[in-house]
Chain A
Amino acid sequence: MIYLFIFIPFLALIVINLLPQGEGEFAGWAALAVFSAQLAAAALAACGLIGLGGGWLDQLLHFRLLSDRTGLLLLFLAGLVGGTALLSGWRLRGASRSNFINLLLIALTGINGLALASDLFSLYVFIEVVAVSSFVLIALFRERSGLEGSFKYLMMSALASVLMLSAVACFLVAADGMSFAAVRAALAVPGNYLARAALGLFLCGLFIKGGLVPFHGWLPDAYMSAPAPVSVFLAGIATKAAGLFTLVRLVRLAPASADLSAVLLLVGTLSIVVGALAALGQRDMKRMLAYSSISQMGYIVAALGTGSALGNAAALFHFFNHAVLKSQLFVNAAAVEEQTGTRDMDRLGGLAARLPVTGTTSVIAILSTAGLPPLSGFWSKLLIVIALWTAGHQFYAAIALLASGLTLAYFLSLQRRVFFGRLRPELENVKEAGAALLLPALGLSALTVGVGLVFPFILGMFIK
């Protein structure tokens, strides 16, 4: 059953490419069906309505897959954000459209592989699947800026690959194989320095992949120069899956230690603060969102640094929120760019009058990101702060909390320069974006509000 998560996108890819292309309408619908099916299946499985047991494929394949709630969360988000990205790229035509859909499906397979991998080397391989498809997606239109962003990402990614491969090599020597169980056992041995060094290397590779400070240089360029639908996918799920989800997996393998905590807390808090400060000074809407993304990822890493069960749960919850909120904000940015032809915030203004849906949903998303109750972002930040505080990291907790004031500051400036305020005369004729951009925006903000309202009720289930 669980194999279907990696085979269905793969099969869909083959089927789409074997059938005659036409205008690409069929490919779009087929891909959308794949994403929605994955969304539904992951949600049902998380509720325990579908079993994930083997079946005949199990006999045949002997894959060693891991199916747990954390993985299901990623599968769910991959379906959600992938579908959103697909819809926001719906108006692409011709070769770009089919390339976009093909690469999206490959990346989806990669992400699903990440969710199910039970072995560090598999993890690495699937990170590469996501990364290679991301490089190409960023340069999809073959414009100069896209190629440049893609190249930067490629370079940093290569560096990360080197680090991760060296780590894998070290683990091969220091541990009894590379399965999670073996690595965990090796890390638990006190004197196993090589395994600890490998852990450090792998960690660094993931920091680069995730774009965390001080390895964040590539991220704003890549997000900014990518075509709008691609940046939804990148920011919403691709880099998070490759950099953060894997980090969650890795950190859980290591026994709690002061060193690991210190590094995670430091990198996390640094990302929070540096990302937020850098976002304050941006003019380009997508660039600001990219820096904000760095800042929000910092919260997740800091929460992992607590090493407590509550911290882990909070990190995953923020992971969920962040994926939903960032994809929504990038969808909104796509709508603004599509309708006005610019992302320069100093040339926009008062768009809420012309783009009411986009404006309203973006208010919801920014307030949730800044942690305004009762939206979902508030609860995850609160849990993170409580986890940090009760784990004895009061200082970091205070920084994390105050940084959400910075978050509000830059987002209010975005809102003020783009949506709030009076309409600029030259934007008089702007119209609301099409349904393909509005539907995901509405759906995602409904999710934000809904989760926020329901959260106290599911809190008990959640922290177990």
Chain B
Amino acid sequence: MSSGALLLLLAVFVPVGGAFLLPLLGRWSASARNIMAFLLVLVSLACSTRLLLTVLTGQTAVYKFPFPLGMSFILSADGLAVFMAVVSALIGAIIVLFSFDYISHYENQNEYYFMVVLFLGSMTGLVYSQNLIFLYLFWELTAFASWRLIGFYRGRKDVLRADKAFLVTFFGALAMLIGFVFIYQQTGTFDLAAMKGLALPGLVVGLILCGILSKSATLPFQTWLPDAGVAPSPVTALLHAAVLVKIGVYVFARLFLMTFVLGAFWHTAVPVIAAASALIAAGAALIETDIKRVIAYSTVSQIGFIFLGLATGSLVGVVGGLLFILMHGLAKGGLFLSAGIIEQNARTKDITRMGGLFATMPVTAAAFAGCAFSIMGIPPFGGFFSKYFVIAGAVDSGQLWLALTFVLGAVLTIIYLFRLFNLIFLGPVKGIAAREGSRLMVFCVVLLAVLSLGAGALINYPAMAVRAAVAQMNGIVK
């Protein structure tokens, strides 16, 4: 077995397998379990990073175990996969670190770490899978883990909304599976590599899009995401920012940019859906008063930008879309974790009851501001570049009106984030005086803000990885 294949297996199965040990370890010692969980994610991150170096030299690594009926288990590290794996493992590791303090005084911690690590491992598996069946397998594993995680507090509302999220994504995934079976009948295999260049009928594209849009919480399947805000903040960060909603985007890129040929109709239809999603969600974010719901709607809105970038099919747009995944993951993760600190210390999620928190929690406030700037797209934060590329891509492909719609969306983003910051941190104190969070938690938030800034200042490095990914795509109009 080549070293690349070994790294692939390690990156996926160390967290997936190790997750099952965590509850056992947790019965013995809580801190050992926490450290173990962090290490498992780190190992995955290290393997993916090592693979990134391989990919940058223009090679790919593949592991294949043959099964009949076209269900061979294939892991493959190409530019897109490695980029995505590194992004999710990096943010995942920070979130696990943040959880140490955040989650330490609740019940069911064993299950929590089990599910988080299982989730991250499955995400890695999904990203590297080159076979539709195994892609679906890991896809559902993430859905399962997020179901348990959203219901973490076990209240009636929590559990109901966990069920809702699970059901919506499950139905979407089933529609997608119908599409997969259709493809199977045409090609006799589930192996993606064997399908390159296949043109799909509209119905199948529509079915697969159902799955993708439901997982990415894009219109018309967006409502589960804000509702899932009942989960603990690290989980919301995991779901909304780093990983879960990006699965849909990633699979879109994997299927429609790297494998199948998307018809001209969809090059317009998907951006239009994305635009509607971006604007409506931005409007909702403007009027919500629950801090986590605001940020969640902001996520729905920003995912629209990513879809725009990927679906236009122009080179600049795709580069922007992929960069957006990274930038948005870092910044939104930071926002959610800050929101977690605020929520835990202020004991409320209602922003109209907060105010003037800047005085008592300056570091968190600064980190929050940094992340918010990145989401807004203010240079030199990373979010600026990705947003700029995406809109430039839309202009490039000749869809000027669409580009203008998204500029409007970007303006709305700036407005609602300013409103949010204003209500929480500025103005007079309204009776709720929150302390700063624990050192570890604040460190994590600051780290994410700094990374957001760094990724923008040193845009060359992420751009290099993205370029390696784009070079292997075939669905791009150059």
Contact = CB atoms under 8 A, between A and B. Distances in A.
A–B: direct contact at CB < 8 Å = yes
Interface of A: 350, 367, 370, 372-374, 378, 382, 385-386, 389-390, 394, 397-398, 401-402, 404-405, 408-409, 412-413, 416, 420-422, 456-457, 459-460, 463
A456 B166 contact: no
B439 interface: no
Interface stretch (B170-178, B232-240, B429-437): B170-178
A398 B71 contact: no
Interface stretch (B76-84, B149-157, B261-269): B149-157
A416 B137 CA distance: 24
B174 A374 contact: no
A421 B166 CA distance: 15
A386 B156 contact: no
A397 B207 CA distance: 14
B182 A350 contact: no
8 closest cross-chain pairs (CB), A and B = A373-B137, A460-B68, A412-B163, A405-B171, A421-B159, A456-B67, A389-B181, A422-B154
A459 B133 contact: no
A408 B162 CA distance: 13
Contacts of A382: 133
B163 A460 contact: no
A373 B174 CA distance: 12
Given A402-B171, A405-B174, A408-B167, A420 B159 contact: yes
Given A389-B181, A389-B185, A398-B178, A373 B68 contact: no
A405 B170 contact: yes
Given A412-B166, A420-B159, A460-B67, 19 more contacts: A372-B140, A372-B144, A374-B137, A374-B141, A382-B133, A386-B181, A389-B182, A394-B182, A401-B177, A402-B175, A405-B170, A412-B163, A416-B159, A420-B151, A456-B71, A456-B73, A457-B67, A459-B69, A463-B69
11 contacts: A367-B144, A372-B143, A373-B133, A374-B137, A389-B182, A389-B184, A398-B178, A405-B171, A420-B159, A456-B73, A459-B67
A416 B73 contact: no
Contacts of A372: 140, 143-144
A97 to B, nearest CB: 37
A420 B159 CA distance: 7
B182 A413 contact: no
A279 to B, nearest CB: 15
Looking at chain A's contact residues, the main secondary structure is helix
A402 B174 CA distance: 6
A385 B179 CA distance: 12
Interface string B53-84: 00000000000000111010100000000000
B286 interface: no
Contacts, number: 78
B384 interface: no
Contacts of B162: 420
B136 A373 contact: yes
Nearest to A381: B177
Among A350, A378, A398, A457, residue most surrounded by chain B Cβ atoms (within 10 Å): A398
B466 to A, nearest CB: 31
Given A372-B140, A373-B141, A386 B184 contact: yes
Given A456-B67, A463-B68, A405 B185 contact: no
A397 to B, nearest CB: 7
B67 A390 contact: no
A397 B170 contact: no
A370 B163 CA distance: 14
Contacts of A405: 167, 170-171, 174
Contacts of A385: 177, 181
B104 to A, nearest CB: 19
Contacts of A373: 133, 136-137, 140-141
Contact of B181 (A397, A413, A463): A397
B67 A422 contact: no
B254 to A, nearest CB: 18
Contact of A408 (B159, B170, B181, B182): B170
A416 B165 CA distance: 14
B160 interface: yes
Contacts of B185: 389-390
Nearest to A310: B69
B73 A421 contact: no
A420 B156 CA distance: 9
A373 B125 CA distance: 13
A386 B186 CA distance: 12
A350 B159 CA distance: 10
Nearest to A403: B174
